[in-house]
C-alpha cells in the first residue's frame, strides 16, 4: 500500500488518539488573547462592505468548518479556490494545545489551490448570519478574512474565507510533514487532542471525495507516532 494513501491515512482512529491522550487538560484562558464581539464588529462590517446586496452569502470551508459549521446554510457546493492551499501552519496554544505543547490547525496559505466546500448561509441578516463564524475564526488573531472565487460544478461563487495572518505570532511558516506530525501527535488542549481535529478533517474530506496529499501524509505520520508512543508505554 503506498505510503500516504487514503487507507493508510484513515488507519488513525479515535481509540488510538484517546489512548495517547487519556487525561483531561485544564483550560488556560491566558494562553491566547481573544477579541471581544465589540472588537470584532468593525472588521466584520468592513468585510460585509465587500458583499453585494442581493447576492447569496457564501463561506468557503476547508478545515473544521467542513465537519462543524458555525452557521445555518441552505446550499453547499464542493469547489476549488486558486491562489491558496490548505496547510497546518497556525499554532494553537489553547483549545487543541497548550503553551508548552502547542497544537496546529489549518489555514489557507499563499500559492497552489484548495478544494473545499462553499456553504450558502441562510437568513436575511448578513451580519447576524456571519457573526458566529467570524467570532470563531477571527477572535484568536490567527486569520484574515478574504473574499475569494470558488470554482464549482454549478459555476463560480464569491465566498468569504479565512487565510492565515502571516504577520501574527501564531504563523509557523512552512513546516515539514514530519515537524507537523510531531506537534499534532503531542498536543492536547481542553477541547481535545490536535490529532482529533486532524482525523475529523480527513474523514470529512474523504466523505466529500476531496483528496489532499498534505493531510493524508500528516495523518499517516501522526498514526505512526501515536502507535510508537503506545508501544513504548506498554514496554516500560
As a whole number of angstroms, the distance between CA 94 and CA 82 comes to 30
- CA atoms within 13 A of residue 208's CA, in its CB half-sphere: 23
Mean pLDDT of 121-126: 89
pLDDT-based confidence at residue 219 (cuts at 50, 70, 90): very high
Q: What is the pLDDT of residues 134-178, one digit of tens each?
A: 999 999 999 999 999 999 999 999 999 999 999 999 999 999 999
pLDDT of residue 229: 78
Is 63 a residue whose pLDDT tops 70?
Answer: yes
Q: Tell me the three-class secondary structure of 122-179, residue by residue.
A: CCCCHHHHHHHHHHHHHCCCCEEEEEEEEEECCEEEEEEEEEECCCCCCECCCCCHHH
Q: Residue 118 forms beta bridges with which residues?
A: 60, 77
Residue of 49, 63, 66, 27 whose CA lies nearest to 192 = 27
Is 207 a residue whose pLDDT tops 50?
Answer: yes
pTM greater than the 0.85 cutoff: yes
When the candidates are 3.30.70.1400, 1.50.40.10, 3.40.50.2300, 3.10.490.10, the CATH number that belongs to 28-174+201-217 is 3.10.490.10
For residue 54, give Cα distances in angstroms to 50, 72, 179: 12, 18, 45
- CA atoms within 13 A of residue 94's CA, in its CB half-sphere: 12
- List 8, 29, 45, 137, catalytic entry: 137
Mean pLDDT of 79-91: 98
Residue of 72, 85, 235 whose CA lies nearest to 164 = 85
pLDDT of residue 224: 93
pLDDT of residue 230: 63
Q: Residue 146 forms beta bridges with which residues?
A: 161
Q: Is 137 a catalytic residue?
A: yes
Other Cβ atoms closer than 10 A to 73: 18
Domains of the chain, residue spans = 28-174+201-217
Amino acid at each position: 500500500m503506498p505510503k500516504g494513501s487514503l487507507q493508510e491515512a484513515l488507519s488513525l482512529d479515535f481509540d488510538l488518539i484517546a489512548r495517547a491522550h487519556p487525561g483531561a487538560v485544564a483550560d488556560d484562558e491566558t494562553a491566547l488573547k481573544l477579541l471581544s464581539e465589540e472588537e470584532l464588529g468593525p472588521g466584520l462590517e468592513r468585510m460585509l462592505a465587500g458583499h453585494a446586496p442581493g447576492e447569496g452569502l457564501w463561506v468557503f470551508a476547508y478545515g473544521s468548518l467542513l465537519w462543524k459549521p458555525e452557521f445555518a446554510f441552505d446550499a453547499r457546493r464542493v469547489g476549488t479556490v486558486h491562489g491558496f492551499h490548505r496547510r497546518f501552519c497556525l499554532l494553537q496554544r489553547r483549545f487543541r494545545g497548550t503553551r508548552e505543547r502547542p497544537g496546529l490547525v489549518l489555514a489557507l496559505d499563499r500559492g497552489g489551490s484548495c478544494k473545499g466546500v462553499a456553504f450558502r448561509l441562510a437568513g436575511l441578516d448578513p451580519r447576524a448570519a456571519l457573526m458566529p463564524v467570524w467570532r470563531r475564526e477571527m477572535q484568536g488573531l490567527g486569520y484574515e478574512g478574504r473574499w475569494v472565487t470558488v470554482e464549482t460544478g454549478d459555476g463560480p461563487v464569491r465566498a468569504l474565507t479565512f487565510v492565515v495572518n502571516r504577520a501574527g505570532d501564531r504563523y509557523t511558516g512552512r513546516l515539514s510533514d514530519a515537524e507537523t506530525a510531531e506537534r499534532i501527535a503531542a498536543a492536547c488542549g481542553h477541547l481535545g487532542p490536535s490529532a482529533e481535529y486532524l482525523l475529523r478533517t480527513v474523514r470529512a474530506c474523504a466523505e466529500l471525495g476531496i483528496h489532499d496529499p498534505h493531510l493524508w501524509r500528516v495523518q499517516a505520520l501522526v498514526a505512526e507516532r501515536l502507535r510508537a508512543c503506545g508501544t513504548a508505554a506498554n514496554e516500560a
